[in-house]
Amino acid sequence: MRSEFLPFAPPLIGDEEIAEVAQTLRGGWITTGDRAHEFEERFRDYVGAEAALAVNSATAAMHVALAALGIGEGDAVVSTTMTFASTIHVIEHQRARPVLVDVEPDTLNLDPDQVEDAVKRTPEVKAIMPVHLYGHPADMDPIYDIAHRHGLAVIEDAAHSLPARYHDRVIGTPPPGFDQPNLVAFSFYATKNLTTGEGGMLTGAPAIVEQARIWSLHGMSRDAYDRYTSDGSWKYDVVLPGFKYNMADLQAALGLKQLARLDAMQRRRREIVAHYDDAFGPVEALETPYERPHVRSAWHIYLLRLRRERLGLDRDAFMTELRKRKIGASVHFIPIHQHSYYRHRYGLRPQSFPVAQREYERMLSLPLSPAHSDEDVDDVIQAVKEIVRDHPARMRTVA
């Protein structure tokens, strides 16, 4: 057994990142400035987007996206119950109403048929917010089609999905000819595939991204950086009651170096995923994650599902066993309909989300980070196999 606890998703930070942050510290400008703008440009080019706005979280990116699109009181937004709370919180922040749908059993991404039903029965819907869960893109063709037919914006929660591909498109760019607003929010939180500690990016068409930029910094018509540089002016106008969501140069310095090593980090992620798949694929009590054809997952999370009929312990007990063996697993996510705020406010019940509810009860996420060594991965495999071996399904008694 391991002597030290294996963290779930430690960041991979090298000397380059440390040197870049140190240089920024010494440079005299540490909040939003040249580094943040350079990071925006590099990121925009990496995903092939038209424009990018660096902010301090994916939550902020989604919030300013809704604000820039003018979505607010009296409006509704369709999203998924299987996500992190903040995807839905930002709809609440705007005083709009979230309309939640169930998910597809393989990817656990929102089910396009249910999105269509929700749109048809809710005339107030102004936008669809798909989440590319675990790094696997949601089924976007039917979602774009629904948005096109009903005149809806699409705001993608891509917190998990840098860099993912759907058909020949990188997540972060709209399909050619899509005629509705399309914004995509990425997260650089500490556990994400690319980290700036805390951070996020919004991509989309230049006009909306610029509107989002105003929302992201106090609603000021020019950003603080311009006010303090030699070619800037002290004058500014506040055109909106904006938020304080800008990304600091210190974070962007980290982001620039992380972006430069992203492809290498992704190769390591896929290597670990392949090890897990090889080890767990043949184990009948376990179900390994799916990658649909024509999709390239960003493999943010390795989802393991337990086949309860073949296993003598439930998910919670499985998590306890992993912890005893010093393996830091997690669960993504407790569905929104289970949280007391949303349950009470909208009267949500598990019966309305049978797939999410069933899969939630048998899912767990294994450690996955390019910072993990082969030995770490072997320890996880050994621990999981041991737990399965030691807890066979109970024999059914024949009457």
Ligand X SMILES: Cc1ncc(COP(=O)(O)O)c(C=O)c1O
Q: Which residues bind ligand X (CB under 6 A)?
A: 57-59, 83-84, 86-87, 131, 157, 159-160, 187, 189, 200
Closer residue to ligand X (CB): 62 or 286: 62
Whole-angstrom Cα distance, residue 209 to residue 68? 8
**Residue 303 is inside which H or E element, if any?**
strand 302-306
Classify residue 328 by burial, with Cβ atoms within 10 Å: 0-12, 13-18, 19+. middle
Closer residue to ligand X (CB): 160 or 218: 160
User: What is the largest distance, in Å, between two alpha-carbon atoms of the chain?
Assistant: 87
Is-contact 159 129, C-beta < 8 A? no
Closer residue to ligand X (CB): 53 or 58: 58
Closer residue to ligand X (CB): 200 or 313: 200
Question: CB 343 → ligand X: shortest distance, Å?
Answer: 19
Closer residue to ligand X (CB): 35 or 160: 160
Is 192 catalytic? The answer is: yes
Whole-angstrom Cα distance, residue 161 to residue 163? 5
* CB count in 10 Å sphere of residue 375: 9
Reduced to 3 states (helix: H, G, I; strand: E, B; else coil), residue 150 is helix
Question: CB 190 → ligand X: shortest distance, Å?
Answer: 9
Is-contact 184 153, C-beta < 8 A? no
The phi-psi region of residue 326 (left if phi > 0; otherwise alpha if psi is between -120 and 50; otherwise beta) is left
Compute the residue count for the chain: 399
**Residue 379 is inside which H or E element, if any?**
helix 374-390
Question: CB 161 → ligand X: shortest distance, Å?
Answer: 9
Measured CA distances, 175 to 134, 147, 165, 168, 172 (Å): 22, 12, 12, 10, 10
Written as one letter, the residue type at 395 is: M
Is-contact 94 65, C-beta < 8 A? no
Closer residue to ligand X (CB): 162 or 313: 162
Question: CB 164 → ligand X: shortest distance, Å?
Answer: 13
Whole-angstrom Cα distance, residue 192 to residue 326? 22
Is-contact 206 83, C-beta < 8 A? no
Contacts 24+ apart (CB under 8 A), 374-378: 374/275, 376/6, 377/272, 377/275, 377/276
Closer residue to ligand X (CB): 160 or 325: 160
Closer residue to ligand X (CB): 57 or 266: 57
CB-hemisphere CA count at 13 Å for 379? 23
Choosing from 120, 192, 257, 324, which is the catalytic residue? Answer: 192
Question: CB 189 → ligand X: shortest distance, Å?
Answer: 4
Question: CB 55 → ligand X: shortest distance, Å?
Answer: 9
Question: CB 323 → ligand X: shortest distance, Å?
Answer: 21
Question: CB 283 → ligand X: shortest distance, Å?
Answer: 27
- Closest alpha carbon to 115 in 165, 77, 164: 77
Q: Which residues are catalytic?
A: 192
